[in-house]
Amino acid sequence: MARPRIFISSTYYDLKNVRADLERYIRERGFEPVLHERGNIPYGHQEKLEKYCYKEIELCDIVIAIIGGRYGSPSEENPYSISQKELKTAIDLGKPVYIFVEKSVLAEYHTYEINKNNPNIQYAAVDDVRVYHFLEEIKSLPINNPIAPFETSSDIINYLQEQWAGLFQRLLQESARQKEIRILEDMKAAAETLNRLVTFLTEERRKGDQAIRDILLTSHPIFGQLKKLLNIPYRVFFVNLDELNAWLSARNFEPVEKEQWDDENIMEWISTKRGKKKKLLKISSDIFEEDGRLKIFTPEEWDPEKVQVDLKDDDDEFPF
């Protein structure tokens, strides 16, 4: 099962006991601590060692940064130390970070703010003023820079315990709300579709009822019935009797003379294709207007008996 990977960033020699306590706490929670002194970072030979620390941060889920009084090993990217660059990398990647600063360092930081333009002042809590330069940079960030003071590793552990409990509770709430969110998203999508349809019909209404007629005409029930009865592999569409005759002619159907219809109100077409069986197509004439236009029918209004196909042998008597 996947486990959260938590990167611990700090100078080593002055904070190794704190690092060890955090490692134990993280492991006891079932998470995976990542510390360079434990060999958790795979180093290569193509780049400097510090680069592999920064790359490992990309693969971690959370970064814990601990700032004490030591500046640490300088990074190749001045004016930062390696531990400072690790924190900057995490922030640039948008990783969740927890920043802890020793209380003595944080207390003296206020003295630094007052005297930072004085190059002659010396500070007791840090071995290099660049620690305060970096702390000033972190404090100026608009987001992702929560800073908590600590004296012992227990202070850090208690803080993390409360934070992670809050994260877990929020995750449970968000998980419970997922169903509601999906319903709201579906409702939003349906509302957007209805709005577009209303806009379309409102605009087309200004042009007359023809727009609505065109929408209903494209889904006329006769098209699906002809496609099924005549085994047509493509879309069937016509708007009047002349187009129907032209379409049937292309399908090898010839019209039967009206005098030879079985019923004067039912038009007939006979297939001319050679074969043992011929098809006699019958369509009720009342589906067309007097001028030959196809009448509009909804699926509820449509009667399948208005279109029929009879099969006849070649030696049957045909009406021509």
Written as one string, the DSSP assignment of 251-304 is TTEEEPPGGG-SSTTEEEEEE-S-SSEEEEEEEEGGGB-TTSBBPP--TTT--G
Q: Are strands 5-9 and 32-34 parallel, antiparallel or unpaired?
A: parallel
Q: What is the pTM of this model?
A: 0.56
Length of the chain: 320
For domain 5-176, the question of CATH label 3.20.20.120 is answered with no
pLDDT of residue 222: 92
pLDDT of residue 297: 87
Q: Are strands 253-255 and 97-102 parallel, antiparallel or unpaired?
A: unpaired
- Which of 67, 73, 62, 88 is CA-nearest to residue 18? 67
pLDDT of residue 320: 44
Could you say which residues of the chain have pLDDT below 50?
A: 318-320
pLDDT of residue 269: 93
pLDDT in tens, 48-101: 788 888 999 999 999 999 999 999 999 988 889 999 999 999 999 999 999 999
**Helix or strand (DSSP H, E) at 262:** none
Q: What are phi and psi of 161, to 5 degrees?
A: -60, -45
**Helix or strand (DSSP H, E) at 271:** strand 266-271
How far apart are the C-alpha atoms of 53 and 169, rounded to whole Å?
31
**Helix or strand (DSSP H, E) at 6:** strand 5-9
